[in-house]
Amino acid sequence: MAKRIFITGIWHETNTFAHGQTGLEDFQNYQYAEGDEVFALFADTNTEIGGVMNAAMELDLNLIPGLFAGAVPSGLVTAAAHETLVNRTLELLANAGEIDGVLVHLHGACVAEGATETDAQYLAAIRAALTPATPLVATFDLHANLSEGLVAQADALVGYDTYPHNDMAARGAEAAQILHRMLWSTRRPAKILRKLPFAPPPQMQGTGTEPVASIMAKMHDMETWGGIWSASIAWGFPYADVAHLGVGVLVQGDDHGHASRLADDLAMTIWRQRGDFDAGLIAVEEAVRSAIAAPEGPIILVDVADNAGGGAPGDGTTILAELVDQSARKAVVVLCDGEAVRNAKALGVGAVFSGNVGGKSDDLHGPPVPLVGEIVFQERVRYQRRGDYMTGQRIDLGEVAVVQADGITVMLTEAKAMPFDADHLSAAGIVAETQQIIVVKSAIAWQAHFRTFAKGEIYVDTPGVCASNLKRFEYTKLDRAIYPIDNDGIWPAK
Ligand SMILES: [Zn+2]
């Protein structure tokens, strides 16, 4: 008879510097499913559960879905929301009957109010409800801040190997295969975690470019060695002020000594190259001038600090204000501004919009910018991602309005638009390919699609809760010096 596998997950990348908290409704409004609804949410998607579903058919596993809850990266998760999600998961697990194995989909950088190690506590709660022999395998995001406490709660863990994360389904399938091996044997891998006092900005964590590409190649080579089950590098999410912030190297294998040597080797390789992770940002005035002067567009102006996928509000105005000042033409900016959208909706298409846009959620991402222009589009926008990244994901931007102000097109949305592709633009009638300048509020994820047609890219030194310059932030939970925040840091620890 097919083995019964409980699959479940709580996924949140918490920016503890972000304004506001993340409540239950933020999960319910983004991704929330119980039981068979989980299948409906993820079937044929390039996500962990999408990959698990395909692998389960090949491996003849009977999947019993629990609860999956994911929220857009944002501020601290409320204690009440996290407790509700964990308790509901445990309730579904208790009602699931006899379970032979468990797959848990984590982010690894979730921080709930009052908890020191949120993801570890979540896994521990599930672990405590299982018999000790029941195998539990967890997946985590490349941006996880791994800890010994977390690693101890799973029999094995598999992290994404790509950023942009286009291998989620493949890693889900890998986790299912590892779990499958454990179902038929009592053998478990030794799990060796090496934590480095090093927090590179996400902007420098792209796996398709150096310095990360060669390091990942070295890691993949290790995975082909005999006795090694799986290796992952969690590059860390530096906007979570937690004691376990930083890069984690995880090697899992039959032999403790062998896995330790490989983990040390990989960790030392990263540590020696820490100086190569400098973000090289361009001042906003110079960035806008270069983009206007470029002979051919589109030029992508990357607003990393207002990374809508990293917990920033997505309403930062620093680049928009400069585009207005320099009278840019054929420039597109997307801002999350529900108030402006509602005003535009009341006026209707063809009317003149006049009001302040953006900069309303906090005072860290530039002040509101006065905007006057024709409303050329106004509709509720929903779409399904067609690009390589998060393919098939269903997106609801709420009400959307597009205001044409001289040469600048401002798209106003009720929900944050994460620019993993240009589908949000085309859904509002904006043709990305014919623009001179496109502002993306993203660190790396935008590259998967926009690089297929962009003629240039400039990383802009803007202020905000996802700034690449980590010295802008005040960390209170770190218990050691960490590079580059403190310039130094010591490894191996004495
Ligand atoms: Zn990530």
In this model, does residue 487 exceed pLDDT 90? Answer: no
End-to-end CA distance of the chain: 52
pLDDT at 1: 82
Q: Are 447 and 208 in contact (CB under 8 A)?
A: yes
Question: Count of residues for the chain?
Answer: 494
Q: How far is the CA of 450 from the centre of ligand 1 (A)?
A: 18
Tokens of 368: 């509101």
Q: Over the stretch 299-315, which tens digit does the pLDDT of each residue have?
A: 999 999 999 888 899 99
In this model, does residue 489 exceed pLDDT 70? Answer: no
Q: How far is the CA of 21 from the centre of ligand 1 (A)?
A: 19
Q: What is the CA angle 149-179-264, rounded to 5?
A: 50
Give the right CATH number for 3-277 from 3.40.50.2300, 3.40.50.970, 1.10.10.60, 3.20.20.30: 3.40.50.2300
Q: How far is the CA of 146 from the centre of ligand 1 (A)?
A: 13
For the chain, the structural domain boundaries read 3-277, 284-468
The one-character DSSP state at 44 is T
Beta bridge partners of 191: 252
Q: How far is the CA of 164 from the centre of ligand 1 (A)?
A: 8
pLDDT class of 485 with cuts at 50, 70, 90: confident
pLDDT at 310: 81
Q: How far is the CA of 195 from the centre of ligand 1 (A)?
A: 18
Q: How far is the CA of 71 from the centre of ligand 1 (A)?
A: 13
Q: How far is the CA of 375 from the centre of ligand 1 (A)?
A: 35
Burial code (b: 16+ CB inside 10 Å, e: under 16) for 65-85 equals bbbbbbbbbbbbbbeebbbeb
256-272 and 212-223 helices, crossing angle to 10°: 170
pLDDT at 444: 85
Q: How far is the CA of 108 from the centre of ligand 1 (A)?
A: 9
| Alpha carbons 120 and 107: distance in angstroms, whole number | 11
Q: How far is the CA of 407 from the centre of ligand 1 (A)?
A: 34
Q: How far is the CA of 121 from the centre of ligand 1 (A)?
A: 20
Q: Are 462 and 319 in contact (CB under 8 A)?
A: yes
Residues 6 or more apart whose Cβ sits within 8 Å of residue 477 = 241, 242, 243, 245
Residues 6 or more apart whose Cβ sits within 8 Å of residue 464 = 303, 304, 305, 306, 307, 312, 316, 318, 364, 365
In this model, does residue 431 exceed pLDDT 70? Answer: yes
Q: Are 476 and 319 in contact (CB under 8 A)?
A: no
Task: Please report which residue ranges of 207-317 form alpha helices under DSSP H.
Answer: 212-223, 256-272, 284-293
Q: How far is the CA of 15 from the centre of ligand 1 (A)?
A: 12
Q: How far is the CA of 165 from the centre of ligand 1 (A)?
A: 7
Q: How far is the CA of 2 from the centre of ligand 1 (A)?
A: 33
pLDDT at 213: 98
pLDDT at 420: 87
Q: How far is the CA of 143 from the centre of ligand 1 (A)?
A: 5
For the chain, give the percent of residues with pLDDT over 90. Answer: 85
Q: Are 412 and 356 in contact (CB under 8 A)?
A: no
Residues with CB under 5 A from ligand 1 (ion): 141, 143
Q: How far is the CA of 168 from the centre of ligand 1 (A)?
A: 10
Q: How far is the CA of 70 from the centre of ligand 1 (A)?
A: 13
Burial group, residue 492, by CB count within 10 angstroms (0-12, 13-18, 19+): exposed
**Residue 148, phi-psi category: left (phi > 0), alpha (psi -120 to 50), beta (remainder):** alpha
- CA gyration radius, the chain: 23
pLDDT at 333: 98
Q: How far is the CA of 207 from the centre of ligand 1 (A)?
A: 12
Q: How far is the CA of 73 from the centre of ligand 1 (A)?
A: 9
Q: How far is the CA of 140 from the centre of ligand 1 (A)?
A: 9
Q: How far is the CA of 266 from the centre of ligand 1 (A)?
A: 21
pLDDT at 493: 63
Q: Over the stretch 290-300, which tens digit does the pLDDT of each residue have?
A: 999 999 999 99
User: What is the mean predicted confidence (pLDDT) over 140-154?
Assistant: 98
pLDDT class of 486 with cuts at 50, 70, 90: confident
pLDDT at 272: 95
pLDDT at 141: 97
Q: How far is the CA of 12 from the centre of ligand 1 (A)?
A: 10
Among 45-54, 94-103, 407-416, 440-449, which stretch is predicted with the lowest mean pLDDT?
A: 440-449
Among 54-58, 72-76, 134-138, 228-232, which stretch is predicted with the lowest mean pLDDT?
A: 72-76
Tokens of 126: 């599930």
Peptide bond into 135 cis (omega under 30): no
pLDDT at 494: 47
* Cα 135 off chain centre by: 27
| Alpha carbons 383 and 229: distance in angstroms, whole number | 38
Q: How far is the CA of 284 from the centre of ligand 1 (A)?
A: 26
Q: How far is the CA of 295 from the centre of ligand 1 (A)?
A: 34
The residue type found at 95 is N
- Beta strands (DSSP E) in 132-289 are 136-140, 156-159, 190-195, 228-234, 248-253
Q: How far is the CA of 162 from the centre of ligand 1 (A)?
A: 9
Residues 6 or more apart whose Cβ sits within 8 Å of residue 74 = 12, 14, 15, 18, 20, 22, 26, 311
CB count, 10 Å around CB of 421?
A: 25
Q: Are 234 and 142 in contact (CB under 8 A)?
A: yes
Q: How far is the CA of 239 from the centre of ligand 1 (A)?
A: 12
Q: Over the stretch 186-209, which tens digit does the pLDDT of each residue have?
A: 999 999 999 999 999 998 999 999
Q: How far is the CA of 396 from the centre of ligand 1 (A)?
A: 20
Element holding 335 (H helix, E strand):
strand 331-336
| Alpha carbons 49 and 173: distance in angstroms, whole number | 8
Output the CA–CA distances (angstroms, integers) from residue 336 to 177, 382, 402, 439, 441, in the order listed: 40, 15, 12, 13, 11
Average pLDDT, the chain: 95
In this model, does residue 258 exceed pLDDT 70? Answer: yes
Q: Over the stretch 65-103, which tens digit does the pLDDT of each residue have?
A: 999 999 988 999 999 999 999 999 999 999 999 999 999
